[in-house]
Structure 1
Amino acid sequence: MIKKQIKKLGFLALVGLLISSCTSNREILYFQDGEAYSETAINYEENTIQPNDILSVTISASVPEAAIPYNVGAPSTTTINNLETLKLQGYLVGTDGYISIPVLGKVLAKQKTINELQDTITELLVEGGHLLNPVVMVRLLNAKVTVLGEVRQSGTFTFTEQYLSVPQALGYAGDLTINGLRDDVLLIREIDGKRVIKHLDLTTANWMGNPEYMVKPNDVIVVQPNRAKVKTAGYIGNVTTIVSIASLLLSATILLTR
């Protein structure tokens, strides 16, 4: 009789633990209120140039030969498909925020957008009488985002797009695992010498219009483990589970001592 009661208690304890470790759809599904934000405007905020950025600066003019002294590396007529080679030939933004362009010398790039830097270099070329009708093209070559935690493939990913969203960055990492905490994803951002940490809720779409929706170069995205993952790691994550187990043990002790 006692053995049967112990088996029943063991079965009840197992069921209680399984129920407590279950994850609801509300914790798993992305953008559950997406229909309410189907007309949300996209915030295309231009990124500013930061120290350690590597820039490609190409200067051309109506007379191509006249622009050659203002460019580094291979002539503009040569096609280079290797991004790493382009980085080696690019302009590294120093800690002082400047890049050094042939003939023009040091040009302040820090805290300027790509378009603003293009305009600055164009003005220097025109006002200094260097070139007639110059065309300046600037690209960021080493934009990267790091994704850590409960994703299928964590790592640092390089992107060449001017605008990349957080969901796209998570797609580079193969999406969140089933154990990823979707309602509290950390976004760590360093910009203009300041570090900011934001908390993102991927189960809702109400943040898609915020600046945090778009990735900035050098962002770090951290996906924390959910409760089910933490429990399987040996940590009991809520008081209800502890009380249930204690109650079952107390009941078993009373029955066995009768």
Structure 2
Amino acid sequence: MKKRILSLFVLIVLSSCASKKEILYMQDAIEQNNSEVNYESANIQPNDILKITVESTIPEAAIPYNKSRAIGAQPQNLQVLQLDGYLVSVDNTIKFPVLGEISTANKTTKALEAEIKDRLISGGHLLDPTVNVRLINAKVTILGEVNKPGTYSFTEQNITILQALGYAGDLTINGKRDDILITREVDGVRKISHIDLTSASFMNSEFYFIKPNDNIIVSPNNPKVKSAGFVGNVGTILTIASLALSVTILLTR
């Protein structure tokens, strides 16, 4: 009887443990050594907020083409910039001073810069303008088995899925590293992908670089699911097993 109780105890503990293979990231990372990195700019999407600045060799001439911007103005915080930015409509357009409505459909920020510059020159507005377009409300939502789930803003043009998970404090020990779910909306089409972080092959995926408004969901691994569905956690299992063993010893004396 004692042997059966001990055997059951061992099986419960083992079933509650994750293996080394399930926990380690990029176990074949050496295969990606010296591989080429393909940077990709995201297309502008509805509800994006853009900061657009126009400069000219004659600063005063560029004033009408800038929103609430005075020469020599002090830097503003991000929230103020967002309130003063250009909100992309659901029709993929923005309303630009003097030039009127401009389409952002299927355009990156660089492509929009080129179009605005071309309009300013071809329309005789400015001779040699400099146009800068920045996305200022980029964010990623990270949920599930991470230490700090939530929605995180970023200002870089390219961040990786590893950087995004770093914002959330990394996966917990119970996170399922070989099946990270990513959802993405691009030009009105929803894309869903599963990423295996235990293999470095995900670095060649189109989902390696995070795009604005991506959602990352980390599911619990099998030991976590089993313990949650059975008695709660490993501590509870150990307590129950200890009590069962004590009772068995008392009854068999």
Q: For 1:133, which of 120, 128, 132 is the aligned residue? A: 128
After TM superposition, where is structure 1 displaced by more than 3 Å over at least 4 residues in a row?
A: none
In the alignment, residue 156 of structure 2 is paired with which amino acid?
A: E
Residue of structure 2 in register with 1:94 after alignment: 89
Q: For 2:99, which of 95, 104, 117 is the aligned residue? A: 104
Q: CA deviation at 1:235?
A: 4.6
In the alignment, residue 176 of structure 1 is paired with which amino acid?
A: L
CA contact (8 A) 1:148 1:222 kept: yes
Query: Is 1:59 the counterpart of 2:58 in the alignment?
Result: no
Q: Distance in 2 between matches of 1:149 and 1:27?
A: 17
CA contact (8 A) 1:32 1:204 kept: yes
For structure 1, the 5+ residue unaligned runs are 237-258
Q: Distance in 1 between matches of 2:50 and 2:71?
A: 15
CA contact (8 A) 2:63 2:69 kept: no
Q: Deviations over 1:170-191 (max 9, x none)?
A: 0000000000000000010111
Residue of structure 2 in register with 1:193 after alignment: 188
Pairing of 1:157-176 with structure 2 (within 5 A)? 157-176=152-171
CA contact (8 A) 1:40 1:208 kept: no
TM-score under structure 1 length normalisation: 0.87
CA contact (8 A) 1:22 1:228 kept: yes
In the alignment, residue 187 of structure 1 is paired with which amino acid?
A: I
CA contact (8 A) 2:180 2:219 kept: yes
Pairing of 1:1-12 with structure 2 (within 5 A)? 5=1, 7-12=2-7
What secondary structure is seen at the aligned counterpart in 1 of 2:203? coil
Query: Is 1:40 the counterpart of 2:35 in the alignment?
Result: yes
CA contact (8 A) 1:54 1:141 kept: yes
Q: CA deviation at 1:21?
A: 2.1
In the alignment, residue 20 of structure 1 is paired with which amino acid?
A: S
Residue of structure 1 in register with 2:221 after alignment: 226
Q: CA deviation at 1:113?
A: 0.6
Identity score, percent? 52
Residue of structure 2 in register with 1:114 after alignment: 109
Q: Distance in 2 between matches of 1:139 and 1:77?
A: 20
In the alignment, residue 62 of structure 1 is paired with which amino acid?
A: T
Q: CA deviation at 1:76?
A: 4.7
Q: Distance in 2 between matches of 1:27 and 1:86?
A: 43
Query: Is 1:204 the counterpart of 2:199 in the alignment?
Result: yes
Segment of structure 1 superposing worse, 192-201 or 20-29: 20-29
Q: For 1:124, which of 112, 119, 128 is the aligned residue? A: 119
The count of residues paired between Structure 1 and Structure 2 equals 231
Q: Distance in 2 between matches of 1:219 and 1:105?
A: 31
What secondary structure is seen at the aligned counterpart in 1 of 2:175? coil
Query: Is 1:152 the counterpart of 2:147 in the alignment?
Result: yes
CA RMSD of aligned residues (A): 1.2
Q: Distance in 2 between matches of 1:123 and 1:74?
A: 22
Q: CA deviation at 1:19?
A: 1.6
TM-score under structure 2 length normalisation: 0.89
Residue of structure 2 in register with 1:247 after alignment: none
Q: Distance in 1 between matches of 2:113 and 2:125?
A: 15
Q: For 1:183, which of 166, 178, 183 is the aligned residue? A: 178
